[in-house]
Amino acid sequence: MRVNENILISSLTTMRLGGPARYVIEVESPRDVADAYGFARTFNLPVFVLGYGANTIGHDEGFNGIIMINRMRGITEEPTANGVQLKIMGGEYWDNVVEYSTNKGLTGIEALSKIPGLAGAAPVQNIGAYGQEIADTLVSIEVYDTASGTFRTLTHDELGFSYRHSILNTTEYGRYFVISITIKLQPGQMQRPFYNSIETYIDENGLTDFSPASMRAIVSAIRADKLPDPTEKASAGSFFKNIYISEAEAEIAGDKGYPVHRGNDGIKISSAWLIEQCKLKGKLLHGFRVNEKAPLVLINESATSYQDLDKARAEIINKVYDKFGYWLEQEPVEIG
């Protein structure tokens, strides 16, 4: 366990905002996790669990508590009747997991390629892309329960998955620290029809191979074209969630000419489309650029304060509401 003091949150997060954290503790074993929470209880300090630093926003005043970072790594395999179970330590970089599985010809998470973050964060907000979600493959997670001070296993059904939600970021927020996750994959490939952007890419490039490794390459290429690398351009990833609506609302939206997507995860309207229709794509707002190719992404070009972000966010949300009557919801979490 490594304990650091007065570390700028801006140096730990990809949006590069935030003042000093009183402590940053890097945990390298389950025992470290228990010790770190014991340290927090002794000094009555709040704890924020940070992964890769994407999807997270810091505040100017910093955080008078402990930011805990998972450094536990490793992947182990266990054969099953029709596939493989992978147990992945929470500090493993998520895209390494996708690469590992697709190299073995396993399907189930290839569409989740290039999502920045750690494996332990994947079930927290039920990461998803291009028709796949971590909930589709997750079997269980191993956690430290701060309420009881014990290690537990939570099954898929106990996690209450929905779009970008689980109990880990809603009803039980802050209670569990994810030690490891177990997912079940199998040989095979994704089936058509794919998302429009994938189908377009396949048609334009004359592709016929839809193996996990090929789909990973396709998704990686699409994301590289649309989404800036947060290590090169400061952003938190997708900043707004898509709008999920009822069937009745979908009929009204369809009558108005709004593009409505029906998928296994529900009925939604693209928030990127809404932002684009408000002519915000490419605009610079209070130091934040609305990404030209992926309007859900806000790039921090010159902003230095949370107040700048607050102004840019409010301007986008209000313009979308005024034009369409939908409230955009922020995806990144905030420290403190």
In Å, how far are 69, 96, 266 from 328, measured between CA atoms?
Answer: 29, 31, 17
- Reported as a single tens digit per residue, the pLDDT across 178-189 is 999 999 999 999
The predicted structure's pLDDT at residue 262? 87
Reported as a pLDDT band with limits 50, 70 and 90, residue 71 is: very high
Distance CA 195, CA 261 (A): 10
- Domains of the chain by start residue, with CATH: 2-70 (3.30.43.10), 75-187 (3.30.465.10), 235-334 (3.90.78.10)
From 101, 140, 164, 166, active-site residue: 164
- 204 as an active site residue: the answer is no
The predicted structure's pLDDT at residue 336? 83
pLDDT of residue 177 exceeding 90, the answer is yes
Q: Which of 78, 88, 52, 79 is nearest to 67 (CA)?
A: 52
- 164 as an active site residue: the answer is yes
Whether the link from the prior residue into 193 is cis, omega within 30° of 0, is yes
Q: What is the DSSP letter of 93?
A: B
The predicted structure's pLDDT at residue 230? 83
From 77, 158, 331, 334, active-site residue: 331
- Reported as a single tens digit per residue, the pLDDT across 42-69 is 999 999 999 999 889 999 999 999 999 9
Reported as a pLDDT band with limits 50, 70 and 90, residue 301 is: very high
The predicted structure's pLDDT at residue 229? 84
pLDDT of residue 297 exceeding 80, the answer is yes
Distance CA 137, CA 54 (A): 23
The predicted structure's pLDDT at residue 231? 78
Q: What is the mean pLDDT of the chain?
A: 95
Share of the chain above pLDDT 90, in %: 92
Reported as a pLDDT band with limits 50, 70 and 90, residue 226 is: confident
From 238, 271, 289, 313, active-site residue: 238
- Reported as a single tens digit per residue, the pLDDT across 78-133 is 999 999 999 999 999 999 999 999 999 999 999 999 998 999 999 999 999 998 99
Backbone angles phi, psi at 313, to 5 degrees: -60, -50
β-pairing, 284-285 vs 288-290, is antiparallel
pLDDT of residue 13 exceeding 80, the answer is yes
Distance CA 71, CA 9 (A): 17
Kindly state the average pLDDT of the residues 34-44.
97
